[in-house]
Amino acid sequence: MSPTDVTPAVGLRDVGMAFGGKTVLASVSLDIAPGSVVALLGANGAGKSTLIKILSGVHPGHGGEVLVDGSPAALQSPLAARRLGIQTVHQRIGEGVVPGLTVAENLVFEELAQQRGNPFLNGRRVLARAREIQAALGLDWSDAVLKRDVTELGISDRQLLVLARALATRPRLLILDEPTSALSAAEAERLFALVERMRDDGIAVLYVSHRLGEIEALADRLVVLRDGRLTEDQARPFDWDAALRAMLAQAEEARTARPVREGEQGEAVLSLRGVRLFDDRTPLDLDLRAGEVTGVVGLLGAGKTELARGLFGAEPFRTGTLALDGRPYAPRRPADAIRAGIHLVPEDRHTDALVPGWSVARNISLPFLKSVSRAGLVSHSREDALGRATIDALGVVTRDEHSAVEDLSGGNQQKVVVGRWLAETPRVLVLDEPFRGVDIGARRDIGRRARALAAEGAAVLVLSADVDEVLEVADRVVVLAAGEVRLDAYGEDAQRDRVIQTIAVSV
């Protein structure tokens, strides 16, 4: 039997969705075969999140038809979708765990929720079942870990927990939304091996990621959404030029940075001397210069976030000195940094940057209420004008400035966070993993704004674990490993191979 004769695990027929009169999906038809990995690409606002939510049972009021094993299916709720074998591991991992319950109870939560009576009373059975579920993913958490409150797990372990729970049901279709965004390289490799095993076991996988290398390694097929429509459908080998054109509507040069050579640098805006990121490591010296984007590359544990938070006063450095425009700078709290003109786009936008339930405009104005206030009262007209200006400047896809920030796609939420810290021109802008979970289009929009700010004379610091993300935007590349600088190079001296080799020998 040929592949075209295989009944799709899940199929869509002319599926459409509109909100407030605006079409976000238009006549999407797609088949996902058992034992295949289909990668879904699309810029922010393309409709990826809406498509995922339809398949997950979150948006039952869609047009068209969803087929499960060839038969029409009513996905009226997330529970209905799960009962039909559609499991989703969402990008926002915090929404997939239940605080107050143990790790073991979270692992078996779906089974507990469907039992009658009070299944929580039998802790021994819960622990035994949790061991079985984690073993399927190759996790080796001890009983002591399984008995802890789930909030004690780090974000990467929470992601592995949610994935293990989803696989415990042996789903018909597993949807993975940016699954490696919070994983280390080793954890990502374990996930890739698991995805390949699922494909071999006949499970269909819809894989949503902005990391093209992952798609190249894992996917059997890729489809592209743009403006709510499928614009590309490819089987291996992939034509990446065609895929990117279909996603971004036009070909773009990947690298926005200009070639800066040693001796051409601007004046130091922010200088660090003798700063230790970790107690047992060599102190570092670093200058962030006017008109320059400095990219810091490092794996998990390299000290990137410690550097960012120290500059912002969130976790002050314990040793060393800082100077801002030649004057001593010693922030003890973020308010000190903001007054000095140092702004931070934090690593975790959901925990550290956005306020759910607030509008786009209110989220943008939050750190700068004085500038949108009159006589101590917030001027809504000023706040709205600031929101509209940010939306226009960064191309945020939203209905208007009054939209709730949680209704935006991940990449557009990130643009809101970046736009907030550009609302008042900073002297130094620090971006910690600014491209995490966003697509190529949003990445380039953010990169262009960073470069434009540098062109105005500010110093910009971009920190990322992804070499290509840094090379795309930075004039200068610094490799950080275990809190120490291992490479500091410009132009041709910051080639990709050299950066990767430096990271490799530093592990």
Domains in the chain: ranges and CATH:
3-97+171-248 (3.40.50.300), 100-152 (no CATH), 268-506 (3.40.50.300)
The residue among 469, 434, 460 whose CA lies nearest residue 311 is: 460
C-beta separation of 31 from 68 below 8 A: no
What is the separation of C-alpha 120 from the centre of its chain, rounded to a whole number of angstroms? 34
What is the chain's alpha carbon radius of gyration, rounded to the nearest angstrom?
24
**Where do we find the tokens 């919070």?**
182
C-beta separation of 20 from 68 below 8 A: no
Q: Which 3-state string (H, E, C) describes 42-71?
A: ECCCCCHHHHHHHHCCCCCCCEEEEEECCE
Pairing of strands 71-73, 63-68: antiparallel
Print pLDDT tens along the chain (507 aa).
445 568 999 999 999 998 767 788 999 999 999 999 999 998 767 889 899 999 999 999 899 999 999 999 999 999 899 999 999 988 777 677 889 899 999 998 877 776 655 555 567 888 999 998 888 777 889 989 999 999 888 777 888 888 888 888 889 999 999 888 777 777 788 888 889 988 999 999 999 987 778 899 999 999 999 889 999 999 999 988 788 778 765 444 444 455 555 556 689 999 999 999 998 889 999 999 999 999 999 876 789 999 999 999 999 998 999 999 999 999 999 999 999 999 999 887 777 888 989 999 999 998 888 888 887 788 889 999 999 998 998 888 888 999 999 888 878 898 999 888 888 889 999 999 888 767 777 788 888 889 999 999 999 999 988 788 888 899 999 999 889 999 999 977 888 888 888 887 765
Structural tokens at position 30:
């797609």
Angle between the N-to-C axes of helices 440-455 and 410-422, in degrees from 0 to 180, rounded to the nearest 10: 10
CB atoms within 10 A of CB 454: 24
C-beta separation of 174 from 203 below 8 A: yes
C-beta separation of 439 from 469 below 8 A: no
Pairing of strands 476-481, 484-490: antiparallel
C-beta separation of 63 from 17 below 8 A: yes
Structural tokens at position 382:
């000023």
The residue among 251, 332, 291 whose CA lies nearest residue 451 is: 291
Q: Which 3-state string (H, E, C) describes 236-267?
A: CCCCHHHHHHHHHCCCCCCCCCCCCCCCCCCC
C-beta separation of 35 from 204 below 8 A: yes
Structural tokens at position 452:
């434009």
